[in-house]
Amino acid sequence: MTIAQITDLHVTTAADPLNQMRNEHRLRLVLRSIHELKPRPVAIIASGDLVDNGLPDEYAALQDILSVSEIPIYYAVGNHDRRAAFLAAFEGPRARRDANGFVQYAVDFDGLRMVVCDTLAEGRDQSGFDQVRADWLAATLDEQPDAPTIVIMHHPPILSGVRWMDPEPDAPWIGQLAEVLRGRDQVRTVLCGHVHRPFHGLLAGHLVATAPASSIQVTLNLSPVDMDRPDGREILVAEPPGYVLVMVDAGHVTTHVCVAGDFEPAVAYTQPFGSD
């Protein structure tokens, strides 16, 4: 069984024509690539920054683009989203609120549980994960302590090394999340977005995997940067759009980082793999 993760779609409108055309084209490439996978994924999780400015007409444009999907799509919110506008467009079985109004819920698939967390703090780029959300995550994980589980959240709790995108290493929310994850061995991986490129690390002994964006990627530049003095460096690059594919096999979870696009086939399977 497989589930695809897409992230940082940044869909917008004709008010921003360059990003409208570019981000829509790239998202459609990603959706086509996912639909061509063999076997086809049972679900897609869109892990936040679904639109660029959190506006109702952007969510309407997103609905139109995603209407072509033959695969069920589930949703999380990121720092570019706005809950009220998002929920007006998407609230339902694949985007549910908890008792505190956060977009948080769990979905059970055959052999895998997906727990979606809300890290949005409206008006801020940084994570809003707090004790209320930590308590919800702990209680939700404890409902099924033996079910292989992936946790979805927009903001990664690990450092990429791209300083202008990273959280502070001692941010309280990272410690709160680590406390929830520690000892809950059913969590196979935490899947994130936000940084617009793939990277991996550990938190409380758990793998954190961040997906590439369907929109443009963040330039990989790990040199120091003065956050108050622009130095003219490239910060975004039109690398190919991508996504993550989660594979589940007998309780084992593997993540693949995938590139979307049209590529020439290189070798065909014409000889048995067991032959000399």
Domain with residue 208: its CATH number is 3.60.21.10
> Average pLDDT in the 111-139 region?
97
pLDDT of 275 > 80? The answer is: no
pLDDT band at 216 (very low <50, low <70, confident <90, very high): very high
Query: Is 266 a member of any domain?
Result: no
pLDDT band at 244 (very low <50, low <70, confident <90, very high): very high
What are the two backbone dihedrals, phi and then psi, of residue 168, each rounded to the nearest 5 degrees? -65, 135
151: CB partners within 8 A, 6+ apart: 115, 117, 137, 181, 187, 189, 190, 191
> Average pLDDT in the 82-94 region?
97
> Average pLDDT in the 149-154 region?
98
> Average pLDDT in the 126-130 region?
97
| Helix intervals (H) in 109-187 | 131-143, 172-181
pLDDT of 251 > 90? The answer is: no
Q: Check residue 97 and report its DSSP letter.
A: B
pLDDT band at 99 (very low <50, low <70, confident <90, very high): very high
> Average pLDDT in the 124-136 region?
97
pLDDT of 276 > 70? The answer is: no
Query: Is 268 a member of any domain?
Result: no
Query: Is 90 a member of any domain?
Result: yes
What 3-state class would DSSP assign to 237? Answer: strand
Find the domain containing 244 and state its range.
2-259
The amino acid at residue 229 is: R
What 3-state class would DSSP assign to 269? Answer: coil
Q: pTM value?
A: 0.96
Query: Is 267 a member of any domain?
Result: no
| Helix intervals (H) in the chain | 17-35, 56-66, 83-90, 131-143, 172-181
Query: Is 223 a member of any domain?
Result: yes
What are the two backbone dihedrals, phi and then psi, of residue 245, each rounded to the nearest 5 degrees? -115, 125
pLDDT band at 242 (very low <50, low <70, confident <90, very high): very high
pLDDT, mean over the chain: 96
Query: Is 34 a member of any domain?
Result: yes
| Structural domain count, the chain | 1
Query: Is 105 a member of any domain?
Result: yes
Query: Is 270 a member of any domain?
Result: no
